[in-house]
Structures are given as structure tokens and as C-alpha cells.
Amino acid sequence: MRYLLPLAVGATLVVGLASPALAQNEPTPSNEWTADVSGHAVTWGGSPRTGLIELGSHRLAQPANAVTAAVTGDGVVDVRGLRPDGQWTEWLEAPATLPVTTSTVQTRVVLNGGKASRVKLTASQAPAAASDVSVAAAGRSYRVYATREGLVGGTTANGHTIRSRDHFVALPSRRGLAPNNSGSYSVQVCASNGRCEWAPVWDVGPWNTKDDYWNPSATREMWKNLPQGKPEAQAAYQDNYNGGKDQFGREVANPAGIDLADGTFWDGLKLTTNSWVTVTYLWTGSGPVGTVRTSAANGTVNVRSGANSSTSQVGLAANYAKVRVTCQLTGESVSGTQGTSNIWYRIASGKHIAKAYVAGVSGATSC
């Protein structure tokens, strides 16, 4: 279940941001630009209702790691930068200094009921910020309490309409919120029964909205005195941290650090009640990565114990989810959305997925 409250907004807002977003009519790279957002579609969703205006990618004339933005109207600006490995940094609310110097940035305007008409952006070079990339190839992993989101028919923070037996997760910070139909921020969630699911982050919650607890204190947005990997809701519930309340002053009723959509909860992990799970935040890792693509009605691909469809199903990978590839091996020939292949990817110990359903993998080594 989600527990969210509105975010504060202003009329005219001047903030700083890492490299601006590219308007479709602005092909020339630049470090200063203006985006007219009044005509852009607004995606409304989440609880409470929040609007997102995706401004797209923008090429800089000179590499930079910081951007300032002046927003006319309601809202704040989020920014992210393209990393050298082709993946994105986390979204940071402007003003922001990215953990990488980049030539490509993306921005989005976050609304809270009002309208924005224009964004002025300037990219520059600032002293380097702390890196957000883990030294572990797979990414940072923490054991947190998971609750079932439900809310079928509702709309997530990125505008996705929640379906029956859906497959996605919610985290209590929009720093890791992927755009709809994207897995740029995905997690690997594993239950104590040995089952795992790879799913995109499409909602914000539970409890808090600025609790990126997977990050170290140097970059964590709030609750910097908590141990890395410990959600504020867990600390409030177990240790009476913050008087037992969340960031909005509400009494925390459970220690949840992640919400699971019904399909992830019931079908991917085979859970029957709220449980402790191990979550790997895949964008914090490094190495070969691919995107799951399936046309199946349930939007998932089977994850097997071996490189053969006759081996046991040990989890699911949701459509659009990113998977980190440990290595590849030869197995059963499978036909899927990416053609026919006898190559299978190992995406965790004892967990394999057919290449025929994974796009974009480069540099995978043999097992």
C-alpha cells in the first residue's frame, strides 16, 4: 500500500539542475536553453496526484555536471545525466550536481496540481559530487520489508494504469522513478523461498517520498544519519526514529521500504503475506545490461534454473525491466521478441533468461 502526501510547490521557482532537456525543435547542442512546456503533455498519477512533464534528452555543447533552472509556474525540475556505460544517473531535484560529467542530460518538470509555462536551463561544470555507482557489479543490495501495493485501476506516479496481477515496484524516492514503459530504474527482488523477480520502478512510496535509503549519507536526500540501506519507515517503526513518524508526521504502521505490484507479489515471488525481501537496485551496479521485451499477456518472461525451458521456473522478469548479465551460456534454442537464439543469460546465481527476450546486451562473457 502507498502512503504519500503532497509535495510543496511554488509559483515561480528558481533552482539549479544538471544539464537541461532537449526540445524537439532544438537540434543544436547548447549549455543554455529555454523549453516552452505549456504545450507538453502532463502525465498525472500517484497518490496524491502528481504531474510529470518529460522534456527529453539534451546534448550539451560542452560537458558539464551541474545545471540551474528557472521554472515559470508550478513545480520543480528533476535532472539526470548519461553515464559512460550508457545508463542514467539517478534523478536529482534542481539545483543539482551530477555524479558524472556528461554531454547528455535529461530533465522533467514535477507538478503538484498547477501548470508550468517555461523552463530556462544552464549547464556548467562544478566540483565533482560523490559517485552514485556501486563497486559491486550487480549493484547495492539490502534486506527490506515489502508490502503489496494493490490499487488496481489506479495510476502510478509515472502515469501507468495499474492492471490486475501487474508487475512493477514502488520505492520511497522519485530519484529512482523510471518513465512509463521504461526500465531505466529496475530492481531485482528475491524472497526467502529462493524466487526472484526483475521489475521496473514505476511508483513512489511507501510512506516517504525523499528516502533514497540505498544511497550513502553523502548523497541521501533525507535521513542522512541513518545507516545506508535502512529505510526511514523501518527505523521509525522499530526504533522510534523521528518519534515513530514518517516525513509528513504520520505514525508509521509498518517498516516497509518497498511496495510490490500484485503480480510481482503473488506470481513472481509467490508471497502470501507482507515479507522481508532482498532488493538489488540494479542501476547502482556496472557491467552488461539488457532490457526484457515480451509480448506475453502477463508482461513477463520466465527465469529458469538452467539454460533450458524444461528446468524449474525460479522467478519472473517483467516487461521493460533491466537485467544485469553475469555471463552467457549455450542452451536450448528459443524464439522470442528478439529473434531465435540458443544463448541464455545468467542474471543471478542459478537464475537464467533466454536471450530471445532480452534486448541490448553488449560485452557479456562466457560462463
Assign 202 a pLDDT band (cuts: 50, 70, 90): very high
Assign 127 a pLDDT band (cuts: 50, 70, 90): confident
Domain ranges of the chain: 12-124, 140-284, 289-359
State the fold for domain 140-284. Answer: Barwin-like endoglucanases (2.40.40)
- Per CATH, the number for 289-359 is 2.30.30
Assign 17 a pLDDT band (cuts: 50, 70, 90): very low
Assign 23 a pLDDT band (cuts: 50, 70, 90): very low
Domain 12-124 top-level CATH class:
mainly beta
Q: How far apart are CA 294 and CA 103, in angstroms?
A: 32
Assign 136 a pLDDT band (cuts: 50, 70, 90): low
One fold for 140-284 and 289-359 = no
pTM (predicted TM-score): 0.90
pLDDT single digits (tens) 325-343: 999 999 999 999 999 999 9
Assign 2 a pLDDT band (cuts: 50, 70, 90): low
